[in-house]
Chains A and B, each alone.
Chain A
Amino acid sequence: EIVLTQSPGTLSLSPGERATLSCRASQSVSSNYLAWYQHKPGQAPRLLIYGASNRATGIPDRFSGSGSGTDFTLTISRLEPEDFAVYYCQQYGSSRTFGQGTKVEIK
């Protein structure tokens, strides 16, 4: 099973700042089948990025994904108030596993 480790666990930032979230895999993720999801309390998770770097439909361009192999990054260029949430990475190339999440909180 591919284990995904996200860092940091919590990111304390102010609106307008840049957020950089990391996701490291225990082995190479095939075909860069790596997705990022945003999850707010009481809401359904939302797909942000798939294929490591492709934005899902309707996702603002302040969200971007990069990386390959075992190291992946989600960047939010300028945090908006609605971006404070928990973010999960997921690999879907070998079964499916999630990272433990990074909480982006207001500083």
Chain B
Amino acid sequence: EVQLVQSGAEVKKPGESLRISCKGSGYTFTSYWITWVRQMPGKDLEWMGWIDPSDSYTNYSPSFQGHVTFSADKSISTAYLQWSSLKASDTAMYYCARHRLATSPFDHWGQGTLVTVSS
């Protein structure tokens, strides 16, 4: 069974750093790209970008370029989303999802990680 299991909820202060994870199982991790999607409270889904775990090539949405970093460790089938300095506006649910190509839908999703940034 294909699964993407995300790390648990986080509560952080503005300016702190954070890395959340997305672990794939039940499939060949390097055969699918991992995308990240943000959903701010009461708002729409926003595509943040994707990473190819086979070579860590990344493609960021212009809206998120420079604000977050994607990485992956294929040895443990895990992708990461990282912030170096959180802002209150980063408070959101973050989902990972997999897709095979740039022009493929997201066929499996993680359960989401809630990130709360508050002083």
A residues at B contact (CB < 8 Å): 31, 33, 35, 37, 43-47, 50, 56-57, 88, 90, 92-93, 95-101
Contact = CB atoms under 8 A, between A and B. Distances in A.
B107 A47 contact: yes
Interface string B91-119: 00001010100011111111110000000
Interface in B44-77: 44-47, 61
A68 B47 CA distance: 22
Given A44-B95, A92-B103, A98 B111 contact: no
Interface of B: 4, 35, 44-47, 61, 95, 97, 99, 103-112
* Closest A-B pairs by Cβ, 3 of them: A44-B109, A35-B105, A96-B47
A62 to B, nearest CB: 20
Given A98-B46, A98-B47, 14 more contacts: A43-B111, A44-B95, A44-B108, A45-B106, A47-B107, A47-B108, A50-B104, A56-B105, A56-B107, A92-B105, A96-B35, A97-B47, A99-B44, A101-B45
